[in-house]
Amino acid sequence: MSTTKLTALACVSSNDYNKNIPSMGIATNYHLIKNLPNADVPSLIKGYLESAQMVCNNQEGIDFTASTLVFTTMTQEIAVTAGVSSATPLTASPISSLSYELLCQQCKMVKDQHARAKEQKCLSIMR
């Protein structure tokens, strides 16, 4: 399976950004996406959603907008309202958009601060 198809599989399977379509687990999703013609991630997801099995099972109208945004652009936007449904694109002010790289930098900074604090605590205990 190609990287593009694996990304599409991640988008349509239950994740932090979208739930999966009821009765469509990862094994079923794998077989459906594996058999789609090669294309970009949004086209694969469109083909997945247009399959006969999806038309019947997708009663909630899930379109995987949020997971596609995150997995294909590696950016995440903070939703303005807490009750954003999986079928609604995330919206945010430009300031609230965080790039993947910025999140990694912030994570490294916090880890470094934690390591320094832990080291200082160990030194104070040893005294």
- Top pLDDT among 63 and 97 is at 63
Percent of the chain with pLDDT over 90: 23
Find the mean pLDDT for residues 107-115. 84
pTM of the model: 0.58
- Higher pLDDT: 16 or 96? It is 16
**68 contacts 80 by C-beta, under 8 angstroms:** no
- Within 13 Å and on the Cβ side, how many CA atoms surround 66? 21
**Cβ pair 47, 39 in contact under 8 A:** yes
Q: Alpha carbon of 8 to those of 35, 39, 52: distances in Å? A: 12, 10, 18
- Does the pLDDT at position 20 exceed 80? yes
Q: What is the mean predicted confidence (pLDDT) over 39-60?
A: 88
Chain centroid offset of residue 102 CA? 17
Would you give the end-to-end CA distance of the chain in angstroms? 57
CA–CA distance, 119 with 69 (Å, rounded to integer) = 39
pLDDT digits (tens, 9 = 90+) for 89-105: 444 444 445 566 677 77
What would the two tokens of residue 116 be?
A: 């320094």
Among residues of the chain, what percentage have pLDDT more than 70? 79
* Nearest to 5, CA basis, from 95, 52, 72, 97: 72
